[in-house]
Amino acid sequence: GNSVTQMEGPVTLSEEAFLTINCTYTATGYPSLFWYVQYPGEGLQLLLKATKADDKGSNKGFEATYRKETTSFHLEKGSVQVSDSAVYFCALNLFSGGYNKLIFGAGTRLAVHP
């Protein structure tokens, strides 16, 4: 079936550290891949996305590359800030029957300390 696996959290980092959150997927067809972020007490916001293999999504210093050969979409940031503390969700998007279905990973909580 279709599924997303993320590294378990929480991930705790010091400010300016390098961040990697691993995400791998299993899917039939050719999904689009997303990273959503959930700040404390808020809903989900799109962070970045990639719609086909080898595409790189980027936003706010975060990057992720759609790797079909390893079925991965790992999230990276070179220097995290305290304001990046949030829960990060990897998701795959399947398009079928005219609608988009999002399948989420379990989420990874990131805590950044000064």
Retrieve residue 28's tokens. 């039939």
Gap between the Cα atoms of 73 and 50, Å rounded: 9
Among 44, 59, 63, 71, binds another protein (CB under 8 A): 44
Contact call for residue 1 and another protein (CB under 8 A)? no
Using rule CB under 8 A, residue 11 touches another protein? no
With CA atoms as reference, report the closest residue to 29 among 97, 88, 90, 75. 97
Residue (3 or 79) nearer to another protein, CB: 3
Residues 80, 17: contact at Cβ < 8 Å?
A: yes
- Work out whether 104 is an interface residue with another protein (CB under 8 A): yes
Evaluate whether 53 touches 67 at the Cβ level (below 8 Å).
yes
Residue 18 or 95 having the CB closest to another protein: 95
- Binding interface with another protein (CB under 8 A): 4, 32, 34, 36, 42-46, 49, 51, 89, 93, 95, 98-102, 104-107
